[in-house]
Structure 1
Amino acid sequence: MQVLQVQLEIRPDPAEVGRARRWARSRLAGSGIAADESLAETLVLLVSELVTNAVVHTGCPAVLRLSLPLAAADSATVRLEVADASDRAPVPRCVDGDATGGRGLALVDGLADRWGWSPEGGGKRIWCELDRCDEPRDAATAYGGGVSAYEVLAFDVV
């Protein structure tokens, strides 16, 4: 399967988060992923979380990359990456119910099929992948069949 790889440079400005979401939505149309498909909604939320983390926690420019299937398929993988110039590792935080932030990596952990990070040059790359399936996943499958390290945190907020 052919994959389209696109990227967007992000300035260290909170307004860039909205621009990144709009950009990601505009790239989905050519990949056969409908705007109202749950995969598209999840992808845009993950873009928002990872770009927000880069903008808020690093103060450095970043690069958002998407790898999208070129044609509709019953199963395909969509990959999202955010690379920035900060060498600080992403650190999941435990926050109380009144906090207005600090849940981004818990959301990524709960929504992505896989995610991780790696050092890159003087900075790092955070990535996540979503599998496009022809049938919806049940709750046990969606969270890896077991209890996620962040599951309690993610659901405590609801």
Structure 2
Amino acid sequence: MEILGNVPPDHGRAAPRARMAYEGVWRFTAPSLDSSVPRARHAVRDLLARQGVPAYGDLVPSLLLIVSELVTNAVRHAALLSPEIAVEVSIGPDWVRVAVEDNHPYRPKALEADQGQTGGRGLLLVQAITAEAGGAYDVAHTASGGKAVWAALPFTPPAAAAPAQVTNPHRAR
């Protein structure tokens, strides 16, 4: 799957490094059916476990929720033009990226759903999870004219903000 767009940065590593055993790219396809949502989620979970990905507390559940939302969107909104979807998992030295590709050219946008609606919040959820983890999210056109919606999460959570320096106003200067 050729994806045109940004990928997680390598943070300017100058010296070549040894490849970690868990690094690589895996791709699988599934029919654009509701039953593909849990299948994709389980396949990604099993891959991460098999590869021994160094994941912190919420990384795997967050990533699996993202996979569920992205595959659900592809199944619900692109099935007419894309009877099959592809899921690609890329694992780098310090991040994991999932992409869901379909043949529909429409680039989805996160919708502000009102309180009464039961759907329409999937991409908002993906964006929020990705931002909270310090990751990246985007939609990219593919060489075949479709799109790939992807999210990348770092293995380590974003650094906690340094505590504010509190000065004693009564201290002599």
TM-score normalised by structure 2 residue count: 0.70
User: For 1:84-105, what per-residue CA distance to the aligned partner results, in whole angstroms no more than 9, with x for missing partners?
Assistant: 1001111211111121110111
2:136 equivalent in structure 1: 114
Bigger proportion of residues as strand: 1
Bigger proportion of residues as helix: 1
CA distance in 1 between counterparts of 2:59 and 2:101 reads 22
Unaligned runs of 5+ in 1: 141-158
Percent identity between matched residues is 33
In the TM superposition, structure 1's runs of 4+ consecutive aligned residues that sit over 6 Å from their partners are none
Aligned-pair RMSD on alpha carbons?
2.0
1:122: how far off? 1.8
Count residues with an aligned counterpart: 133
1:145 equivalent in structure 2: none
CA distance in 1 between counterparts of 2:159 and 2:128 reads 13
CA distance in 2 between counterparts of 1:55 and 1:21 reads 14
Structural mapping, 1:4-15, within 5 Å: 4-15=24-35
CA distance 1:104–1:131, shift in 2 (3 Å)? same
CA distance 1:98–1:137, shift in 2 (3 Å)? farther
User: For 1:1-21, what per-residue CA distance to the aligned partner results, in whole angstroms no more than 9, with x for missing partners?
Assistant: 342211110211011001111
CA distance in 1 between counterparts of 2:56 and 2:42 reads 14
* 1:90 paired to 2:108: yes
Contact 2:26–2:88 at 8 Å: present in 1 too? yes
Q: SS state of the match for residue 112, structure 2?
A: coil
CA distance in 2 between counterparts of 1:24 and 1:35 reads 13
User: For 1:24-58, what per-residue CA distance to the aligned partner results, in whole angstroms no more than 9, with x for missing partners?
Assistant: 11101133237883111111001001000100011
Contact 1:35–1:41 at 8 Å: present in 2 too? no
Q: SS state of the match for residue 98, structure 1?
A: coil
Unaligned runs of 5+ in 2: 1-18, 162-173
CA distance in 2 between counterparts of 1:16 and 1:82 reads 12
TM-score normalised by structure 1 residue count: 0.76
The structure, 1 or 2, with the larger RCO (C-alpha pairs under 8 Å, 6+ apart) is 2
1:39 equivalent in structure 2: 59
